[in-house]
Structure 1
Amino acid sequence: MKTEPQPLEAGETSKRLTSTQGVTRGLSIVDLILRIIAAIGTLGSAVAMGTTNETLPFFTQFVQFSAQYNDLPTFTFFVIANSIVCGYLVVISLPLSIFHIIRSAAINSRIILVIFDTVMLALLTAGASAATAIVYLAHNGNASANWVAICQQFNSFCERTSGSLIGSFGGILIFMLLIVTSAVAISRC
């Protein structure tokens, strides 16, 4: 014997709507906080890598060895990728995130954010992965290719490049969380 669901009273319907809107608004606030943290991390990574240089004197002061981030195109790509992602977060993503706190039922703009977040995740992952390969070579070298490790001579350079990767990989993790959070918020609308 099947029983029909009982119709909801007016008060119960509004309580469920209010509860759903509250959860969606909470997700929007978490989304905004994560975007601010990601913007700070990617900006810090771009600045740390972009200001990395070290000069070592060689026998005389007229002959010197220097290492700068722009000596390696991979590090230049890393700085550009982090700058683009940070610009996206500040210019497009944060205003839309604030809009989602105000209008928690907006679905189309959330879908657009998921698409752009996925593209930015791919760009950030490409830049961080390429830079990680170069930092690995700088620390360990490659005996098969006769590449020597330069980090024994350029300690400060290697420390800054390694440290700049932390903010970028943190941004990658945050973008993964943002995509999941946005998907959950879309499903609740």
Structure 2
Amino acid sequence: MEGESTAVNITETPKERKGKAPLLAPPSSSTIKPIVQKAPKGGYKRGLAVFDVVLRLAGIGAALGAAIAMGSTDQTLPFFTQFFQFKAQFDDLPAFTFFVIANAITAAYLALSIPISIVCIIRPQLVAPRVLLIFLDIVMVALTTSAAGGAASIVYLAHNGNSDANWPAICQQFNDFCQEISGAVVASFLAVVVLMCLIVLSAFSL
């Protein structure tokens, strides 16, 4: 018949729809991996280890300078005869003798600890050397602080005296002696500050 359409409707069955897949499937979230650039391991630890060596060298200079300054302190008042003279030496007081020995030990320790610190530069991931340095640094802080504190009390008495104990100030007569021992005490306290900074650095490295 002429009026009827000859078009044929083709319908897809559910099975046929199931079998067809889209040409461009969206990538699944599991296959997308973020690109993260990893920083080199131990970079900041190596930097802290280098700074540790620098501080140890500074501590050697402070402790050794304190020991030498105190150990070489000697003044004789010039206005007396050779048979009757007033003389001031560091070994006249046990606190100053202990001060020299303690600062010499601290300087020697810091020199001997530099190879261990260099190992931490080469192998920054090692834990045992850092733990050893923290322990020994704490011991040296205690030793140096006690020596500097004891010497500081004697320096204070030398400058100001103590009227209650009838101890006169001697720095008006022994001016050079007092200046040298005061400088030695200041250098020793600088060594204490360096040692405390070393402990903090080792703690950050761990």
Q: TM-score by structure 2 length?
A: 0.81
Structure showing greater relative contact order (alpha-carbon pairs closer than 8 Å, 6 or more residues apart): 1
Q: 1:57·1:63 contact (CA, 8 Å) conserved in 2? A: no
- Deviation track 1:125-184 (CA, whole Å, cap 9, x = no partner) reads 000000000000000000000000000000010000000112111111111111010000
**2:130 matched to 1:110?**
yes
- Deviation track 1:18-67 (CA, whole Å, cap 9, x = no partner) reads 1x411000000010000000011000000000000001134433211100
Q: 1:58·1:65 contact (CA, 8 Å) conserved in 2? A: no
Pick from 24, 34, 37 the counterpart of residue 45 of structure 2. 24
Structure 1's consecutive aligned runs of 4 or more residues displaced over 6 angstroms after TM superposition are: none
Counterpart residue number, 1:3:
none
Q: 1:141·1:149 contact (CA, 8 Å) conserved in 2? A: yes
State how 1:59-98 maps to structure 2 within 5 Å: 59-91=80-112, 93-98=113-118
Q: How well do the aligned residues superpose, as a CA RMSD in angstroms?
A: 1.5
| Corresponding residue pairs, total | 175
Q: TM-score by structure 1 length?
A: 0.89
Pick from 60, 66, 70 the counterpart of residue 39 of structure 1. 60
Separation in 2, partners of 1:76, 1:160? 14
Opposite residue 62 of structure 1, the aligned amino acid is F
Separation in 2, partners of 1:158, 1:108? 44
After TM superposition, give the deviation of residue 96 of structure 1 in Å. 0.6
Separation in 2, partners of 1:70, 1:94? 31
Separation in 1, partners of 2:174, 2:187? 21
Separation in 2, partners of 1:117, 1:40? 16
Q: 1:125·1:172 contact (CA, 8 Å) conserved in 2? A: yes
Separation in 1, partners of 2:33, 2:48? 29
Unaligned runs of 5+ in 2: 1-31
Counterpart residue number, 2:197:
177
